[in-house]
Amino acid sequence: MASTQTFVSPENWYSLQYPRTWEMEVIEGIPSFFDGINPYGGALQVFAVNQVGAPNADLIKQSPFMVGKTLNEKLRIFLSKQGISDEGAQFFERDKTLMGACEYRSGGHFYLILMAERGSIFVLALYNCKGEPEAEEAANVGRILQSVTIL
């Protein structure tokens, strides 16, 4: 991404870099990033939460995967709710941040999920598009996900 812009979450929990040609909208409190020029492209949505304190019942009701005690459990639960096995998931650590990622297809859509956790901050980034992403968009999404940093 030769020309990018930085997004920092309002809570200052995470940041990411996305192409200047892309747009960002907040929908129901969740930032969504997309190529405004390509009408057939997908969207990348980013959900973040501070897990400090007692479990939030409303959050768990809306996002049942949050009952997982570890990042691996959270990703496994998320995928199982989609009817997807976690066999293709990859787990790694970057800059003292635990991360898990998986791509899958369901209902004619392509999905790519990244979960990241450091300390009490948890971030879920989910990209989806109808069919398969175009090569340029797939490359941009990959670079955006590589730039996700928990602050």
Using alpha carbons, list the distances in angstroms from residue 30 to 47, 104, 125.
Answer: 6, 22, 10
pLDDT, residue 1, reads 45
Q: Quick check: 18 and 139 in contact, CB under 8 A?
A: no
Three-state helix/strand/coil letters over 58-124: HHHHHCHHHHCCCHHHHHHHHHHHCCCCCCCCEEEEECCEEEEEEEEEECCEEEEEEEEEECCEEEE
pLDDT, residue 147, reads 98
CATH of domain 4-150: 3.40.1000.10
Calculated CA dihedral for residues 83, 130, 139, 93, nearest 10 degrees: -20
Listed by start position, the domains of the chain span: 4-150
Mean pLDDT by 10 residues, the chain (151 residues): 87 97 94 90 96 82 93 97 94 96 97 98 98 95 98 96
* Predicted TM-score (pTM) above 0.85: yes
The tokens describing 5, both together, are 């812009």
